[in-house]
Structure 1
């Protein structure tokens, strides 16, 4: 057992399910002994805390936490699980364990930042030392601002300002500690909120209060579909990172080809759950000699699109349902449950759309090019509020996070910062001809042949004109008009950066 006078730190894990390049864990071990905790958080009465996990993400979190538990056990670090409001649980655990300090990796969504600030104050008032660390971003949002402005609203200036910054070295896995006295944990495990991994209920149907649509239609579907395509956890993530060179071979020229297995790295869920840090990804891209200069530059740029999404999220509260461009509060979206249901089920009659929705349901992931096309089709051809699509992706994507998912949907819908021009309507037939000319992607995922496809849900030309007309009506509405669509209610992790020239109709 470690010396009695050695410091004891509680490390609160969140979306950082790793042991390598974990600044909070490294600092805690440098101080002495460590106890870890992870909480399935419920938002409080004021709405503070992280956005509740969708169905696919709950499955991933469960599996990844099981691996983290094993990895921490090899370091003789116990991992406690709890469910409920973190503002009550963390101070209670700190008190019962008799820790000297609490450490965590910073969060950047406004509701989570506000909660963390409250918890930090409460802990400090109880006499605990509290430290927060950078861990999920390369650039802290408050350190990036243009001259004379509050924050960047366009990606290119942001990229130019921050992409050359030093981010530091990747931290090694801490050394194992001397096993703790089991009696130390008995009091903490007596807390009513403390449970085991299964007791968190991550695999139990719905009840997340966010993104319940898919899970309500097929409870536990992810265990019969998504589980066949992924191996969550930091160990599989590390193995995948070692093969980064092969994973993005030709990325600069083939990343828009959905049937190409090497067109993207598919590391987005690893980054979303923090099985890998962005610093690990950046370091690997910079040092892997088999990656060409063009592929390296293109892929690193996408890492910074993710940074930009979090930069926006930091500055815009309620970004998951409030448009960044205020005029879009008055966009005349249509109310069409049948259209929404056909989009969700992949029965629109347009092969690229339907193949993408089938891939999403089967794997919990969709190629980024197809994400943009399906999002454009829902918001422009079908004139459905982007919020409904964002919610569906939130519940079915394994890589949906609080920044990339809503920021990317708003980018496509035209309501976001640095958004695509509204007149840019992705034509799914032209996109299919350009990026899946031999039909390989569609053959992989479409549950029907193109000869037996459902009737087209809309005419592309007519619906495009209707979308442009709706946009004109939005611009002409008076400032006092009532907002259209839900007042309160995603594309790949790096964000849907447009490729090539922007045309009026893609």
Structure 2
């Protein structure tokens, strides 16, 4: 779309733009189209899945903190454009049609979602709006490649990354859209009426920061909303916005743009450095920005392609990671139960262990394996973990401890600021060996060898060890009196034996 197309039309059509995981004003196709048509009111809903399971997965604790802060920043940006942002909480299938009717809008627009339960909900809402005489439009913007537009000759969707990447890497993705023009003030009567509805809340009233993400005795958080965790989070979950995650991040689309401007520092040398967790510039750390749509993937790709004085090897090593995100959503679009069911059906019979004590050690960062414990501490303190360490900690849980990947996926969902419905389960299945992975099961990450190879001088381990929820004494931080909870060599053999038993039962 050209700059001219971003200018509003002469007529006064009013559109409700439903923000979801697209908390930005730059390169926002739904917002741009709405301003082209006339004036805009924005809305964001803290959604609940309905009785049929439709809707997005409820946010984990760290993501709720991020959403709150990012929404505050989005409200400021929209206010500068003359666009009000309303808030609500509850089932979107009830709120959106009611809001559209009571606000008297001509149309509702949103950015497309791709998880099957969210797609089904959006289709339901579109039908409700259309039946009520209100136009409903979904716009692209969350992905570079719409999942239904690419498929292999031999099947309906790609199940291995490299063929997927080769099929989409050279596709044109369009130009980045500018910020829409500021709109004139809404009529006073309409402004006065916007808050006079029982579904309207303020940002603080959404309860995104009220709890800590752990379940109470009824299995819900303090607001009564099912958070989708496995009940293993403890009462020691920190106050994310005060003492931990807030010390490491500044959510919001303006801050995302500032961070994107420094992309060159991360991409320069990326091919060699991206696996080094102790190097603060080894990754771009843009994952939460993409997860909440503070940046569009098109903006990220354009920035990478425009960088001068960067080698093509480094540039495309980073771009390849951007397309891993696309691949995860490609799989999620086609596999409605990827959150809970293995892609490889035989793994439904894998003999996982039920070991709550070992799981707690892993969550607390007290396994006695330095790289694992340092990684779980970084996760606890920053709501984020370096990708190389994510793989090592996930492999340790699923293959050395033989604990079901779902427990780890749930813990990451509750503690990662960048956990989304595609990357989180797809990545866990990949490491566990039951997902989109052509490599054999016996690829088991030895966390000691990983530490020797990628953190040989201990910058990463020394930075984080002992800062997880379990804490460590000074002696334990020095490696004393902290025996590993499992022997790495023996547990590897046990994992291979368990895999052989599963295969024998499948034959």
Q: Is the 8 A contact 2:343 2:436 kept in 1?
A: yes
How far apart, in 1, do the equivalents of 2:192 and 2:233 lie?
A: 39
1:455 counterpart (470, 473, 483): 483
1:248–1:291 CA contact under 8 A, matched in 2: yes
Of 165, 170, 173, which aligns to 2:179? 173
Structure 2 residue 499 is the aligned partner of structure 1 residue 471: yes
Compared CA separation, residues 478 and 436, structure 1 to 2 (3 A): closer
Give TM-score, length-normalised by structure 1. 0.92
Aligned equivalent of 2:393 = 374
Q: How does 1:101-500 map to 2 (within 5 A)?
A: 101-205=107-211, 206=213, 207=221, 208-211=226-229, 213-214=232-233, 216-218=235-237, 220-418=239-437, 420-447=439-466, 448-452=476-480, 454-477=482-505
Contact 1:346 1:358 in 2 (8 A): yes
State whether residues 250 and 295 of structure 1, in contact with CA within 8 Å, keep that contact through their aligned partners in structure 2: yes
* Post-superposition CA distance 1:70-96 (Å, at most 9, x none): 000000000000000000000011101
Q: Secondary structure at the match of 2:64?
A: helix
SS in 1 for 2:233: helix
Q: Report the counterpart of residue 103 of structure 2 in structure 1.
A: 97
Distance 2:268 2:10 in 1: 53
* CA shift for structure 1 position 4: 10
Query: Structure 1 residues 419, 333: closer, same or farther in 2, change over 3 A?
Result: farther
CA offsets, 1:424-477, max 9 Å, x none? 110011111100011111110112434325111001111001001111111122
* Distance of 1:351 and 1:148 partners within structure 2: 45
1:198 CA displacement: 0.1
Change (3 A) 1:139 1:273: same
1:464 and 1:345 map into 2 onto residues whose CA distance is 22
- Unpaired runs of 5+ in structure 2? 1-7, 214-220, 467-475
Most deviating of 128-137 and 179-188: 179-188
Q: What is the aligned-residue RMSD (CA, Å)?
A: 1.6
Tell me, yes or no, if the aligned pair for 2:17 and 2:34 is still in contact at 8 Å: yes
| Cα 1:143–1:37 shift into 2, 3 Å | same
> After superposition, what is the alpha-carbon deviation per residue over 1:140-167, rounded to whole angstroms, capped at 9, x for unaligned?
0000111131101111111111111000
Give the secondary-structure state (helix, strand or coil) at the position aligned to 2:397.
helix
**CA positional deviation for 1:191:** 2.6
Counterpart of 1:36 (choices 21, 42, 46) is: 42
Q: Classify the secondary structure of the residue corresponding to 2:479.
A: helix
Q: How many residue pairs end up in the alignment?
A: 478
Provide the C-alpha distance between the structure 2 equivalents of 1:354 and 1:20, rounded to a whole number of angstroms: 39
1:241-280 Cα shifts (integer Å, max 9, x gaps)? 0111013221110100000111100000000000000000
CA contact (8 A) 1:56 1:395 kept: yes
Show structure 1 runs of 5+ residues with no match. 480-506
1:175-210 per-position Cα deviation (integer Å, ceiling 9, x unaligned): 100011243144442332210000000002132421
Cα distance in structure 1, aligned partners of 2:127 and 2:246: 40
* CA distance in 2 between partners of 1:474 and 1:170 (Å): 49
